[in-house]
Copies of this chain bind each other. A is one copy, B any other.
Amino acid sequence: MSQKKINAPKGTRDLYPEDLLRQQYITNAWRDAAIRCGFDEIAGPTFETTELYAVKSGEGILGELFQAFSGKSPKEVERVKETGQAEFALRPEFTPTLARMYAARAKELPQPCKWFTAGPYFRAERPQRGRLREFLQWNVDAIGMPADDNSTENRARMDAEVIECMVRMFEDLGLIADALTIKLNDRNAMAAFFASLGVTGDQLEDAFNLLDRQAKLPTDALRTQAQDANLPEPFIAFLTKADPSTLPDLDASDLDSVCSVCSVVEIDRWIARDHTIARGLAYYTGTVFEAIAEGERAVAGGGRYDNLIELFGGPPTPACGFGMGDVVLGNLLDDKGLMPSGAELMDAVSRPQASIRPVAFVVPNGDEANEPLVHSLVANLRRGIESEPWKSRDDRKPWDSDRYSVAPVHARVSYKSTRNIKKLRSDAERQHARYFVEIHADNKVELTDMDRRESLTSDTHGSFSVDPAAPNYVGAAIAARL
C-alpha cells in the first residue's frame, strides 16, 4: 500500500469539532427563528436534473454549476463524453426544488405554505473570502396567499412575515439594526419608472442587471454596457448619476403597505428603502430586498416571485422568500465578536431549540377584535422579552443563559378569512397548537390549553386585558401563563 496525501477539493471545508459547532451555532439560529415564525422545515435532493435549472435560468447556467452523472450508466457517460454536459447538477440554489415540490402537491398544501430549509449548495466559482464552492444556505419561503387572496394587503403581509423571520434570527445572534440594514425596493415600481425613461419591456432584464451591478462597476463601464444594450439615454443618466440616497419619483404604495406591516411587528428600524436594490435574477416580481452589513456585504437576499411556481408546472401562485449563506454571516459574527468559543459555544449549541409544535396560536375573536394587536402579540411572543434592552456586545453576550426574562416561543396566526371561532380553533388543532389565544373586542385575552381542553383564564390564572399601547407586556403576560 502506497502512502498518498490528498487534499479536500478547493473551496470546500473540512470541519473539525469546533469548526462544526460554529456552523451549528448558525444553523441552530436559522432553525429556531424559522420555527418560531411558523415555517415548516423541508428538504430536497442534493442534486437535480440539469433540466430543472435550465428551465429557470436558461442553458447558460450549466457553465456555472458542478455537473454530475452516474458512472454506472453507459447512457449518461456517453452523453457527457459527447456533449460535455451531464444529466444532473449539484444544486446551486433551492428555489427550483421548492417550486417543483410545491407544484407536485399544490392542491393538498395549505395556503399559504410556509417552508424553510437549510442544507449544502454548490457553485463552480473561484473561491474567495465569503464565497466557497460548497456552502450552507437557509431558505425561507411563503408560497400562496392567506385566504387565497392575492391582494396588496396580503402580499405585504407575507413579504413582511418573511422579513420578520430574518430579523428574529439577526436579533437572536445579537446583531442590531445599526450593524445591518434590510434594503427594500419594488421591481414593479422600478419597471414603471424605467418605462417612463423609455426602457422597453424587452430591455427590462438588462436594465435590472445593470442596476444590480451599479455599486460594483465604474461609471464608464456602466455607461458602455448600457449603451451596448441600446438602453435609452434618460435611463443611462439615471443609472450613472443617480445618488442612492435620493429616490426617483416611484409609485411607493406597495412598499408603503409592506413597511406598515413591518411597523406592527416592530421591525421597521431594520428597513430602509433603496432604489438601487434590483436583485439580478429575472424571476423576481414586486418586492425585492437585501440584508446589507457594514462594508456593503450582502448577507441575504430575496423577494417576491409570483410567476415561478407556474413555470414549474404548478397553478399560478404568488410567493416570496429569501436565501442566506453561512459563510458571509459567519464572517460577520466573527468580526463583531458575536461568535462564542470553547465551553460557551458547546453550551450555546446544546441549548433546546424552539418547539416544533406551535406553543401559541393567536386569533381575533369576533369582527370587532383588534387585528393589528393579534399580529403585534404574535411578534412579541416570537421575539421574547430581554432581561434588559439589548445594546452592544460589550455589556452582554447573545448566548448568555439569562438573556431573556420571557423566552421567545413558536407562535402562529390563522391565515383563514373566517371569523368563526370554532373554525379558527380547528385550524389551531390541525396544526397541533398547544395553547389557543383569543383576542376579544375589548382587548381581553382568553387562553385555552388545547391538550387538556381547559381554559387558563379562570379564577386561578386570572383573565387579563391588553393595553394596545404596550403589547410587550401582554406578550409577557401571555408567556407567563403558558
Contact = CB atoms under 8 A, between A and B. Distances in A.
A355 interface: yes
A3 B311 contact: yes
Q: How large is the interface on A (under 10, 10 to 19, 20 to 34, 35 or more residues)?
A: 35 or more
A234 to B, nearest CB: 29
A9 B313 contact: no
Contact of A6 (B313, B353, B354): B313
Contacts of A231: none
A147 interface: no
B1 A16 contact: no
B312 A6 contact: yes
A105 interface: yes
Interface in A352-375: 352-357
A342 B24 CA distance: 26
A313 B5 CA distance: 5
B353 A357 contact: no
A100 B6 contact: yes
Nearest to A43: B15
Contacts of A6: 49, 51-52, 55, 100, 312-313
A67 interface: yes
Contacts of A67: 68-71
Q: For the complex, would chain A's binding face be called helix, strand, loop or mixed by DSSP majority? A: mixed
Nearest to A53: B6
Nearest to A343: B432
A357 B52 CA distance: 43
A115 to B, nearest CB: 8
Contacts of A89: 71
Contacts of A85: 71
**Which of A46, A77, A350 lies at the interface centre, i.e. has the most chain B CB atoms within 10 A of its CB?**
A46
Interface string A31-74: 00000000011111111110110010000001111111111110
Interface in A6-28: 6-9, 12-17, 20-21, 23-24
State the copy count for this chain.
2
A349 interface: yes
Interface string A136-177: 000000000000000000000000000000000000000000
A443 B209 CA distance: 74
Nearest to A100: B6
Interface string A316-351: 000000000000000000000000001100110111
B73 A124 contact: yes
B77 A9 contact: no
Contact of A120 (B7, B46, B311): B46
A134 interface: yes
Residue from A14, A81, A347 having most chain B Cβ neighbours under 10 A:
A14
B71 A68 contact: no
A90 interface: yes
Contact of A90 (B23, B47, B52, B356): B47
Nearest to A61: B71
A103 interface: yes
Contacts of A134: 45-47
The 10 A-B residue pairs whose C-beta atoms are closest, nearest first, are A12-B45, A5-B313, A17-B40, A70-B124, A352-B352, A72-B124, A343-B432, A346-B356, A15-B43, A68-B68
Given A3-B311, A349-B356, 6 more contacts: A9-B49, A14-B100, A17-B40, A17-B41, A20-B41, A346-B432
